[in-house]
Structure 1
Amino acid sequence: MTTPATRQAAVTVRVFTQRFSSTPRGARLARRLALHQLDRWRVPYGSETSEVVALLVAELAANAVTHGRVPGRDFELSLAYTPSLLLRIDVSDTRGERRPVATARGALDEGGRGLMLVEALASRWSVLDRVPVGKTVRAELDLLTGCPARGVATGRTPRTQPARPPGAGA
């Protein structure tokens, strides 16, 4: 006995990748172009998703410029967007030996809060090795299951419960 084939819905993944100079100007341009690209993908300027992505890209790009800079080398921004499902932000630089760690800071410390923001805003984040040299810091937003920005881009109301890992029971 054979079972009928199950049709899988096609999933569209939109991708944007651009290299930027490892300068404060390059970091600002990365943020601006990320928002422009989201707008082209129908995630409008000023939406909650757009605002969250602006903060994430700004922090990750600033870290690449500040801590991952090698003279004469650029950093790379990559966005992967699956409408209504996932938005992935990758920022890559050439300093693989300098891996970021989110740490608590004192009230009077002037810096060091960027990754705490990333941790608070992203559904998850990680650091990946980059071949042949360097690292990629990745932040992901689950647009269906609990991203704080989910409702604006998809037209659905955001959930107030934290997202569950795939396969977790209700």
Structure 2
Amino acid sequence: MKWSNVRVEPPTVATHLTVLLSSTARGARLARRLAGQQLAAWGVPYDSETSQAVALVTAELAANAITHGRTAGRDFRLTLLHLPEHGVVHVEMTDTRPGRLPRGPGVVESAATDAVSGRGLLLVAAYAERWGCEVRDAYTKTVWAEVRRPT
């Protein structure tokens, strides 16, 4: 074999990540860690505001997926899309309870001051440029958020 004929292509970095995770606290924790690692692979520093915002949004959406969207024996799906042409990172969390929809982005209510939960979507709304929910089939729903990247 002639080495002069061998061409080595530089590695390419995917602009999306999709992974199935168990509908457990461990799966939600892993979703957050994977988001940070994937952003670092896309060149977003791990300690940047963007990375921290995406990690927080991912953690909140994953927590909701395992708390409100869980069906026994079914996983949830994390999808991250790096959209540099739009200046955003798109986060999707797909769970198996399409009948349990969050209230829309304009209807987020704050929890009682002494409540220990109920503020997750308020945090998502604060850190995301926009967010929403889609039912794409009879078996799943996808809650998504877009976090703006500074230019």
TM-score range, shorter chain: 0.7 to 0.9
1:73 and 2:79 are equivalent in the alignment: no
For each residue in 1:101-139, what CA deviation from the matched residue of structure 2 results, as whole angstroms up to 9, or x when unmatched? Answer: 222212111110000000111000000013241100000
Query: Could you report, residue by residue, the CA deviation over 1:125-169 in whole angstroms, capped at 9, with x for unpaired residues?
Result: 0000132411000001233xxxxxx2xxx4xxxxxxxxxxxxxxx
Separation in 2, partners of 1:106, 1:82: 36
% identical aligned pairs: 50
Q: Does 1:15 align with 2:16?
A: yes
Q: 2:111 aligned with 1:105, yes or no?
A: yes
Q: Does 1:127 align with 2:133?
A: yes
Is the CA contact 1:13–1:80 (under 8 Å) kept in the aligned structure 2? no
8 Å CA contact 2:98, 2:141 repeated in 1 = yes
Q: What SS is found at the alignment partner of 1:116?
A: helix
Alignment of 1:28-67 (within 5 A): 28-67=29-68
Structure with bigger RCO (C-alpha 8 Å, 6+ apart): 2
Which amino acid is 1:97 matched to? Answer: G
Mapped to 1, the partners of 2:14 and 2:24 lie a distance apart of 30
Question: What SS does structure 1 have at the residue aligned with 2:102?
Answer: coil
Pair 1:138 & 2:144 matched: yes
Of 102, 109, 114, 2:120 maps to 114
Amino acid at match of 2:66: V
- Write 1 or 2 for the structure with the bigger share of helix: 2
Contact map agreement 2:98 2:138 (CA 8 A) in 1: no
Moved over 2 A (4+): none
In the alignment of these two chains, the number of paired residues is 134
Q: Give TM-score, length-normalised by structure 1.
A: 0.75
Code of the aligned partner of 1:100:
P
C-alpha distance in 1 between matches for 2:47 and 2:111? 30
SS of the equivalent of 1:42 reads coil
Structure 1 gap segments, 5+ residues each: 1-11, 144-149, 155-170
Report SS of the residue matched to 2:19: strand
Match of 1:86 among 88, 93, 100: 88
SS in 2 for 1:117: helix
User: Residue 13 of structure 1 contacts residue 83 of structure 1 at CA under 8 Å; is this kept in 2?
Assistant: no
Matched residue type, 1:138: W
Tell whether the 8 Å contact from 2:82 to 2:88 is kept in structure 1 after alignment.
Answer: yes
